[in-house]
Chain A
Amino acid sequence: MTTCATFEAAADDLALGFSPTPLRDDLVAHASACAACGARLRSLAAVVDSLLELAPAVEPPVGFEARAVAAMRPPASSGAPRRRLFAVAVAAVTLAVVAAGAVAAISSEPAADTTAADVIGRRGANLGRVELVSTPSPKVVVLLEDDRWEGVWVCELEDDDGAWVEVGRWTADHATGGAWATNVDADLLDATRMRITAANGTVLATSDRLD
């Protein structure tokens, strides 16, 4: 069984990724259970990771870019059309700021595992689009364009009981458009509408019915 003393002696190798299994598993288990050792490991790992930024940049061989991009493509599925957007969302709230004038529009024909709707502002303007995506994991993706958004916004989905469920919030900072996505519980894939409220509960925008 790993003690704090033995963890201390092995923490550097663990942070460097050099600990062999099953020792690594024991050490990780100890770090999970001991707050002090866990904090020590996290700070060591942060130093190791930060030092990587000092590695020299080297031009890769000709053709590398195309090969690397090709390696990032998902395998072709049988018959299903390629979808340009909304396959995966970030776990933490992230605002992707699209500069002024950019129009990020969603395909008018979402794939079979997606429901979508327009997002309508308080003055009736079409502000963008929302999609609920089921694969590879349930998520909501909101794309907004051409409006002034500042402060903290709250994204809510209306469940099939008519209740509004908060799924996340983000901070917009003088953005004139943006994209935001987060994972949601699977039962919210049947949500009927999405709305955006201010932190004080004022409704800023509501989607049409998701279908």
Chain B
Amino acid sequence: MGVMWSAHMDRLSDAALLAAVAAADEEAATLFVRRFQRRVYGLAFSITADAAAAEDIASQAFASAWQHASTYDPRRGAVSTWLLTVTRNSAIDSIRTRRPAPLEDGILLDLLPAGAATDPAEAAASADLLVRLRSALDDLPAEQRRAVLLATIHSRTSAEIAEREGVPVPTAKHRIQSGLRKLRAAVELWSDADQPR
């Protein structure tokens, strides 16, 4: 008998697909890349602003994901979040050795909707968090919102943010710190509110 995952593999949840990737299933690897490549490459490009570097980083991220698939713990969050964190870590390692290209002014505002998850239950949960997160981001003062997005999605240091924003480094650090802490407080408030009574 041969392995016959293929008939239904495209309907596997993200976690199940990652488990199949961890088991060295080639078809699963292809589907995994296909499912997440736009988001992984998109994040890599958001950090490097360089297509070639982004491609290297994205490819590296998928290789790391395959190697470390067994470390994914579904209790800690979605596969997409885990994979994007792997991508960001790869990107930070890369840009430490070279200065990233300047970010265009409009790029911070270009927050496209998150891609639809294949698993409806996962989509409902993740969409809910993202809606809430966007709402909390909208509540931040504009300069804190910019600083948080530059630091997280674009992985810019306080010094780089200070230079871009034309403010002292301590001011940039304070904006990042305040913004993250307000978001953290909002997330914790939701977590408490979501607890069963």
Contact = CB atoms under 8 A, between A and B. Distances in A.
Interface of A: 12-13, 15-18, 43-44, 46-61, 64-65, 67-69, 71-74, 83-92, 94-99, 101-108, 137, 141, 179, 181, 183
Contacts of B41: 58-60, 64
Given A84-B3, A105-B2, A48 B114 contact: no
Given A90-B22, A91-B70, A50 B8 contact: no
A102 B74 contact: no
Given A48-B180, A55-B46, A88 B37 contact: no
24 contacts: A16-B152, A17-B89, A18-B151, A47-B180, A49-B77, A50-B133, A50-B187, A52-B87, A54-B114, A54-B134, A68-B33, A72-B21, A84-B24, A87-B22, A88-B24, A90-B72, A98-B12, A98-B16, A102-B5, A104-B3, A105-B4, A107-B1, A137-B70, A181-B23
A61 B37 CA distance: 10
A58 B42 CA distance: 4
Q: Is the interface of B mostly helix, strand, loop or mixed?
A: helix
Contacts of A98: 5, 8, 12, 16
A53 B23 contact: no
A94 B17 CA distance: 11
B171 interface: no
Contact of B77 (A16, A46, A73): A46
Interface string B119-130: 000000010011
B1 A69 contact: no
B184 A104 contact: no
B20 A179 contact: yes
**Mostly helix, strand, loop or mixed at chain A's interface?**
loop
A106 B153 contact: no
B45 to A, nearest CB: 5
B63 A72 contact: yes
Contacts of B12: 96-98
B194 interface: no
Range of interface residues on chain B?
Answer: 35 or more
B79 to A, nearest CB: 10
B5 A57 contact: no
Given A43-B188, A84-B25, A88-B24, A96 B34 contact: no
B4 A74 contact: no
B37 A54 contact: no
A169 B70 CA distance: 17
B114 A53 contact: yes
A105 B1 contact: yes
Contacts of B94: none
B39 interface: yes
Contact of A51 (B65, B110, B149): B149
A84 B152 contact: no
A15 B180 contact: yes
B19 A94 contact: yes
